[in-house]
Structure 1
Amino acid sequence: MSTLTRPERAKPNILITGTPGTGKSTTSADIAEALGFAHLNVGDIVKSEKCYESRDEEFDAYMLDDDKLIDEMEPMVADGGCVVDFHSCEMFPERWFDLVLVLRASTEVLFDRLTERNYSEKKREENMTAEIMQVVAEEARESYAEEIVHEVQSNTVEDMEANVERVKQWAEAWKANNP
């Protein structure tokens, strides 16, 4: 059991993470709607608040300014009730989250999703390798208390719906244990 002290909040914060293409945005939006929480798409915040230092054109990605991003998001998550959606998690303070859900997808499903997004071959290969090597899952396990990190499959609509239901049940238990 972790000895980490989290701030007292009326509602928990949830992080949905995973390799690009695993269904984070869809799952996060569905969970936020089901719980009546705010959905914070970190990629959108990075762009709208210019929380980046530069842009890597080869990978069509922003080079984050982690400090600016954290400063921007801190007041958003302070009171709880947020579902945060991002492909990386190590930069976020551990105290922010009560549940970290790592979405996983089979290589066949992931390949098709990334191809549909018109990812370059190099970007698709990098993300496929990251999923195979469990990069995001390992990052989550190293960054957060073991008991709050859960890996779930996200290959089908049924998987995504089941994940939303699991999180709804978890949130009910959290509320019962944190009156």
Structure 2
Amino acid sequence: MQVLNEEEYLCAYGSLRDLFHMTVPNRSAEILDVACGTSMLLRGLSNDGYTCLTGLDHDQLVLDWAQINIRAKIDWVCGEAWNPPFPPNTFDCIITKGLFNMSLVLGDICTAVDIIHSIHTLLKPGGIFFTIVELPADLLQPLFLNTALDWNMIEFRTEVLQGDYVSDKAHGLGQFVIAILQKRRFTSS
């Protein structure tokens, strides 16, 4: 298993730290990292004082490695992104980094749509979906703005970030889409 060093992985998080803190200021928010891998992202959040962290990945070996090597209080759960083992309305924030890269590159739009629906279901009303993807914005915007889901678009921008899995390996830079969506709160009539 290839494991990225902490500096490589946290570079992108470091670039987004202030935006994340502004978007999710409550340090006791229930946060889920979907397709977390070795989850240096959750480690960064833990280091910043977030206390209710869960990592979901389909690979138990990766989760075992993370549990042994990441010295932070994080719940590690094995499961699939399109069928996660949590009840609806569980999380205040769901984060992903690179989750949609492979399914959209391979043209598997159905899996990507299933994952978006799962994320929407798992979020509490008013919950935040914070995702970082290294794909062109025109591939992502229709997926995230699916009219069947009640989202408010908080942020959708392209930004050059340092970090892992970047297109410009020589300089450690990549062009990422940063999307932040909020599940609408339902009001009683």
Same fold, TM exceeding 0.5?
A: no
Q: Identify the structure with bigger relative contact order (alpha carbons < 8 Å, sequence gap 6+).
A: 1
Higher helix share: 1
**TM, length-normalised to structure 1:** 0.36
Q: TM-score, normalised by structure 2?
A: 0.35
